[in-house]
Amino acid sequence: MRISRLEIFGFKSFMERFVLNFDEPLIAIVGPNGCGKSNIVDSLRWGLGETHAKQLRGSVLEDVIFNGSETRRPLGMAEVSITLRPHEGWHLGHLEEEPEDRFVDDAEREEGAFEQLAETVEEETGSEELARPLHSTLMSLEEAVPGLFDASEIQLTRRLYRSGESEYFINRVPCRLRDMSDFYRAIGLGPRGLSIVQQGQIGQIVTRRPTERRELLEEAAGISGIRVRIEAAARQLDKTYGNLERLADLIGEIDKQVRSLRRQANRAKRRDELKVELKDADIRLFQARTARLIRERGEVRRSKESLHVRLEELNRSIQSLSGEEEDLRARVEEIDVELTDMRREKES
Average pLDDT over residues 126-140: 54
| Out of 50-54, 191-195, 227-231, 295-299, least confident range | 191-195
Question: How much of the chain, in percent, has pLDDT values that exceed 90?
Answer: 37
Average pLDDT over residues 191-212: 71
- The whole-number pLDDT of residue 131 equals 42
**For residue 167, pLDDT beyond 90:** yes
- The whole-number pLDDT of residue 116 equals 54
Per-domain residue ranges of the chain: 1-86+151-191
- The whole-number pLDDT of residue 241 equals 92
- The whole-number pLDDT of residue 108 equals 52
| Out of 30-34, 131-135, 207-211, 292-296, least confident range | 131-135
Average pLDDT over residues 159-188: 88
Q: What is the pLDDT of residues 211-237, one digit of tens each?
A: 877 777 776 665 666 777 788 888 889
- The whole-number pLDDT of residue 199 equals 66
Average pLDDT over residues 283-299: 93
- The whole-number pLDDT of residue 16 equals 92
Pairwise pLDDT comparison (122 vs 79), residue with the higher score: 79
What distance in Å separates the CA atoms of residue 308 and residue 38, rounded to the nearest whole number? 134
- The whole-number pLDDT of residue 346 equals 82
Average pLDDT over residues 176-196: 74
- The whole-number pLDDT of residue 53 equals 86
Average pLDDT over residues 321-330: 86
Q: What is the 3-state secondary structure (H, E, C) of the chain?
A: CEEEEEEEECECCECCCEEEECCCCCCCCCCCCCCCHHHHHHHHHHHCCCCCHHHHCCCCHHHHECCCCCCCCCCCEEEEEEEEECCCCCCHHHHHCCCCHHHHHHHHHHHHHHHHHHHHHHHHHCCHHHHCCHHHHHHHHHHHCCCHHHCCCEEEEEEEECCCCEEEEECCEECCHHHHHHHHHHCCCCCCCCCCCCCCHHHHHHHCCHHHHHHHHHHHHCCHHHHHHHHHHHHHHHHHHHHHHHHHHHHHHHHHHHHHHHHHHHHHHHHHHHHHHHHHHHHHHHHHHHHHHHHHHHHHHHHHHHHHHHHHHHHHHHHHHHHHHHHHHHHHHHHHHHHHHHHHHHHC
Average pLDDT over residues 275-290: 93
- The whole-number pLDDT of residue 191 equals 66
- The whole-number pLDDT of residue 93 equals 47
Q: What is the pLDDT of residues 76-89, one digit of tens each?
A: 999 999 999 877 65
- The whole-number pLDDT of residue 222 equals 59
Q: What is the pLDDT of residues 250-277, one digit of tens each?
A: 999 999 999 999 999 999 999 999 999 9
**For residue 242, pLDDT beyond 60:** yes
Architecture of the 1-86+151-191 domain: 3-Layer(aba) Sandwich (3.40)
- The whole-number pLDDT of residue 127 equals 44
